[in-house]
Structure 1
Amino acid sequence: MGESPVVLFVCVHNAGRSQMAAGYMTALSGGAVDVRSGGSEPGESINPTAVAVMAEEGIDISRAVPQLMTTEQVRGADAVITMGCGDACPIFPGKRYEDWELDDPKGRPIDEVRAIRDDIRSRVERLLADLVPSAH
């Protein structure tokens, strides 16, 4: 068995969307994927509503800390998923690259954040099936 594929989830503040995606990929892949996340302008702390809606799914992202995404991280990833950071996210040719159009959960009511979470989960499931076909 080869090395685990590396997936990097990126949003501007690394406080909501990318953390939820990383939480799902870690949980759903059962360790089959090396999951990283970062932001182009990391926030002060993770979005408490994102923490709450992930806890409803049994996934604890409360200890996650917004990190600055580095060019090296992007270069080292097999798949780079950006979420609404526009030109702030570097893209390297030859990488699997997707931009997920997701609303920023910051400041939104919990029902809207749940909808964003559910959208993220279905996208993560599709990505995981592509990256690790045996992980079901």
Structure 2
Amino acid sequence: MTDRPTVLFVCVHNAGRSQMAAGYLQHLAGDRVRVFSAGSEPADRVNAVAVEAMAEEGIDIATAVPAVLEADTVRESDVVVTMGCGDACPVFPGKRYEDWELDDPAGQPIDRVRPVRDAVRARVEQLIATL
């Protein structure tokens, strides 16, 4: 890893979990870490309820745009965190991979998304401690 590690968060639609994780990492680590997020089948926009849940924490992910997962982004990353993308994420030697099992917030009401958000934050805090 370089002095400024790069972390990539990946989920299928890049609209909920991965966007929340990227938002937290950017918020908590600032410019000490480069942050990417992507999806194997990106949605048209970020989940509005995920945006609302993060806004409750003072983190604005409303302008985030789901991105397609590119092999070059994986190649650039020191740590790749997957969240339900299965085999869609390319694997490169020398990368640190973590798979976070988290409920998908898609289609869920805010009271079901808050626990997912909180679990994401806890894992991001643990991740920061290991970078």
Whether TM-score is above 0.5 comes out as: yes
* 2:99 partner letter: D
Per the normalisation by structure 1, the TM-score is 0.93
Q: CA deviation at 1:93?
A: 2.0
Q: CA deviation at 1:109?
A: 1.4
Say if 2:15 is the partner of 1:12: no
Cα deviation code 1:46-103 (max 9, x no counterpart): 0000000000000000000000010000011000000001011112122110000011
Residue identity over aligned pairs, in percent, reads: 65
Which one is further off, 76-85 or 86-95? 86-95
SS at match of 2:31: coil
Q: CA deviation at 1:14?
A: 0.4
- The separation in 1 between residues aligned to 2:38 and 2:120, in whole angstroms, is 16
- Consecutive unaligned residues of structure 2, counting only runs of 5 or more, are none
Per the normalisation by structure 2, the TM-score is 0.97
Q: CA RMSD in A?
A: 0.8
Q: CA deviation at 1:4?
A: 1.0
**How many residues of Structure 1 are paired with residues of Structure 2 in the alignment?**
130
Regions of 4+ moved over 2 Å: none
* 2:127 partner letter: L
* 1:4 partner letter: R
- Consecutive unaligned residues of structure 1, counting only runs of 5 or more, are 132-136
